[in-house]
Chains A and B, each alone.
Chain A
Amino acid sequence: MSELVVETRSLVKRYGGSGQRAVAAVDGLSMRVERGSIYGFLGRNGAGKTTTIRMLAGLAKANSGSARVLGLDAGRDSIAILERTGFVIDKMLLPSMNGNDLVRFNRGFFPRWSDALAKRYAESLEIPMDRKFKKLSHGNKTKLCLLLALAQNPELLVLDEPTAGLDPVVTDQLLRVLVEDFANDGRTILMSSHHLSEVEKIADWVGIIDKGKLLLEARLDDIRANYRRVRAVGERLPQRGPEVVTVSATEGVADYVLSADAEGFAAGLRSNGATILDVAPMNLSEIFLELVGKESHVPVEVLA
């Protein structure tokens, strides 16, 4: 069994006091990130991604459930976690310091800090290190945040929406650094995003969260290989099944999203007199829309 670097169990975070007025930002989340993976943590705005990451970083406390990072308890052992994990959350550093000052400031905090890495990323990402943080462009701010996280030489990098608001060139630069320099060393990245195409480009695992609940957690390859859309016409079509993720019906056509064995499911429908219109593969974007675009969800399906 693979070693888990992040593991949450039934994690709950509520805001707005107790009782009926409380809103669950994270609602029973159980996720597992394997060592060496690039995990795309997907969800709409307000789905609970950032709250989850804040709990992993020890910035917010869970109401119930557990969160472990690098085998350590996120609430109790936050210092040991922070020494070994690079967190990029708000992309806001100390505004009056320039890049060189920030490198100097960070150096003393991290036992595995590397000035050589900081210099290398400053050059390769073309960051103006002598300019104050508050005067940098949005793209350079993000790059500097990433530089500081990378130069601390972490085992795990946790990034909250790292590419939000960036142009395609900067996005490409960042993703290249993440994959080629960081993940290729066997280190782990947990990256939240709602930019599905970017995640699809680099991730090998994805978790889809909506309204604080994890709807799907699976290897991207497994999703590509197994997820299918089946459209069928017939009477008394089933509304559920072991592999049915979602089902909808419009103008007499039933639209099934299946997590596995689409051909077997289609054969079953045919034997009940239904006509199969098509069985089509799905990309991540289509699956995401199916999962988070619906009001009701089938419980999380883990493919492993």
Chain B
Amino acid sequence: MYLWKYWRESRIVFGMSMLGIAVLAWLVLKGTWHISLGQSDSGMPDPRRDIPKILMASLYLQVPVSAFLAWVMGSFGVGRNLGEDSGSYLLTRPRRRYWFLWRDWGFGFLQLVFVIVLANLLIGYLVHRLLGAGGGPLNGSVMLRDVVSPVPLAVVTGLNCLAMIAFAGLIFGITYFSTICMKHARGVMLGAGIVLGYLILSAVVRHYWPAIELPNLLMRVFQTSPVSNEPVNLSEHAGLTLAVRAVVMMLFPVGAQMILERSEI
């Protein structure tokens, strides 16, 4: 029944996301897609040149949409109730405080994952169609410049999807954590402030101390060419990076729980 409450709060945002997915699906499935693949030195179509670029661009295109969705989703739940003065009502329902928090976080995160997976499946299918339409010879695989054997499209799409989930989960967790910290929906603004502050800090560090590189909020799926910025290989240690990001992502709900458990309502 508690999930129903979160669903009621988030359903409009989720519904709009589904609408966006439906439009994307319509475009992918009904549209006529064609791509002129770049040519290799021998004059044959060469999917190595463009498809990885499309996959990388699709990842970056998802960033603002996913960030906004995660940011809004993170504003629902116990933190908002505390801000609306209904915290004493909610937390006198006979359940432990973590029970409310993990249901909020879990259900919100599941909704995010659902939207991101759908979007990436559609993007993957679109690339698959482009490869087919472009006469790509690799049959569902993508060639990267520095990789000897072709990489299955499903692997690249899956990595894209996981990177986006880790990114959205981080924004979602930061926002949720901030609303609990502030005991108010104003925490949403704090969440945005933390993310923007980090981006500014990264830019400042990059400018003044080029040797230091702060971790990017979005996991790097591809290694890129320093000259052309083209994706040339899959990122090294993608699994480890993903695991570290998952741990960092989980720190925020855990921190929120620690704060909520100690809070005076």
What residues of chain A have their CB less than 8 Å away from a CB belonging to chain B? 54, 57-61, 79-80, 82-83, 87, 89-90, 92-97, 101, 104-110, 145
Report the Cα distance A82→B95, complex, angstroms. Answer: 8
Q: Are A105 and B4 in contact (CB under 8 A)?
A: yes
Chain A residues positioned under 8 Å from B8 (CB to CB): 96-97, 101
Report the Cα distance A101→B95, complex, angstroms. Answer: 19
Least CB distance, B4 to chain A, in whole angstroms = 7
- Determine, out of B79-87, B141-149, B196-204, B218-226, the stretch whose residues face the partner at the interface: B79-87
Q: Are A109 and B94 in contact (CB under 8 A)?
A: yes
Q: Are A93 and B86 in contact (CB under 8 A)?
A: yes
The count of residues in chain B whose C-beta lies closer than 8 Å to any C-beta of chain A is 22
Residue-by-residue, is B245-265 near A (CB-CB < 8 Å gives 1, otherwise 0)? 000000000000000000011
Report the Cα distance A79→B90, complex, angstroms. Answer: 13
Least CB distance, A257 to chain B, in whole angstroms = 36
Q: A83-B94, A94-B81, A105-B1 are in contact. Are A60 and B264 (CB under 8 A)?
A: yes
Q: Which residue of B lies closest to A82 (CB)?
A: B94
Chain B residues positioned under 8 Å from A106 (CB to CB): 93
Least CB distance, B119 to chain A, in whole angstroms = 28
Q: Are B89 and A89 in contact (CB under 8 A)?
A: yes
Residue B207 CB within 8 A of the other chain? no
Q: A59-B265, A105-B5 are in contact. Are A93 and B92 (CB under 8 A)?
A: no
Chain A residues positioned under 8 Å from B85 (CB to CB): 90, 92
Residue-by-residue, is B47-68 near A (CB-CB < 8 Å gives 1, otherwise 0)? 0000000000000000000000
* A-B pairs with beta carbons under 8 Å apart, 20 shown: A54-B88, A59-B88, A59-B91, A59-B265, A79-B94, A79-B96, A82-B94, A89-B88, A89-B89, A89-B92, A90-B86, A92-B88, A93-B86, A94-B86, A95-B86, A105-B1, A105-B4, A108-B2, A109-B1, A109-B95
Within 8 A of A (CB), among B69-105: 81, 84-96
Chain B residues positioned under 8 Å from A145 (CB to CB): 89
Number of A-B contacts (CB under 8 A): 69
**Among the interface residues B93, B94, B95, which one has the most CB atoms of the partner chain A within 10 A?**
B94
Residue B236 CB within 8 A of the other chain? no
Q: Are A107 and B91 in contact (CB under 8 A)?
A: no
Report the Cα distance A57→B265, complex, angstroms. Answer: 10
Q: Are B92 and A94 in contact (CB under 8 A)?
A: no
Q: A57-B88, A79-B96, A110-B94 are in contact. Are A96 and B4 (CB under 8 A)?
A: no
Those 7 A-B pairs whose CB atoms lie nearest each other, nearest first: A82-B94, A108-B1, A59-B265, A83-B94, A92-B85, A109-B93, A89-B88
What residues of chain B have their CB less than 8 Å away from a CB belonging to chain A? 1-2, 4-5, 8-9, 81, 84-96, 264-265
Q: Are A92 and B4 in contact (CB under 8 A)?
A: no
Q: Which residue of B lies closest to A133 (CB)?
A: B86
| B contacts with A: majority SS | loop
Report the Cα distance A106→B91, complex, angstroms. Answer: 12
Report the Cα distance A11→B81, complex, angstroms. Answer: 28
Q: Which residue of B lies closest to A91 (CB)?
A: B89
Q: A79-B96, A82-B92, A109-B95 are in contact. Are A95 and B84 (CB under 8 A)?
A: yes
Chain B residues positioned under 8 Å from A109 (CB to CB): 1, 93-95
Least CB distance, A239 to chain B, in whole angstroms = 41
Chain A residues positioned under 8 Å from B86 (CB to CB): 90, 92-95
Report the Cα distance A98→B141, complex, angstroms. Answer: 53
Report the Cα distance A260→B12, complex, angstroms. Answer: 66
Chain A residues positioned under 8 Å from B88 (CB to CB): 54, 57, 59, 87, 89-90, 92
**Among the interface residues A59, A96, A110, A145, which one has the most CB atoms of the partner chain B within 10 A?**
A59
Q: Give the contacting residue for B92; candidates A61, A87, A95, A96; CB below 8 A.
A: A87
Report the Cα distance A95→B85, complex, angstroms. Answer: 10
Chain B residues positioned under 8 Å from A83 (CB to CB): 94
Report the Cα distance A94→B87, complex, angstroms. Answer: 9
Q: Are A90 and B89 in contact (CB under 8 A)?
A: yes
Least CB distance, B174 to chain A, in whole angstroms = 25
Q: Are A60 and B1 in contact (CB under 8 A)?
A: no
Q: Which residue of A lies closest to B262 (CB)?
A: A61
Q: Which residue of A lies closest to B263 (CB)?
A: A59
Chain B residues positioned under 8 Å from A101 (CB to CB): 8
Least CB distance, B183 to chain A, in whole angstroms = 12
Least CB distance, A219 to chain B, in whole angstroms = 29
Chain B residues positioned under 8 Å from A95 (CB to CB): 84, 86
Chain A residues positioned under 8 Å from B2 (CB to CB): 105, 108
Q: Which residue of B lies closest to A57 (CB)?
A: B92
Report the Cα distance A90→B84, complex, angstroms. Answer: 11
Report the Cα distance A188→B224, complex, angstroms. Answer: 71
Chain B residues positioned under 8 Å from A90 (CB to CB): 85-89
Q: Are A59 and B92 in contact (CB under 8 A)?
A: yes
Report the Cα distance A109→B94, complex, angstroms. Answer: 6
Query: Given known contacts A60-B264, A95-B84, A106-B93, what 20 new A-B pairs fall within 8 Å (CB)?
Result: A54-B88, A54-B264, A57-B88, A58-B91, A58-B92, A59-B264, A60-B265, A61-B264, A89-B88, A89-B89, A92-B86, A92-B88, A92-B89, A93-B86, A94-B5, A94-B86, A96-B9, A107-B1, A109-B93, A109-B94
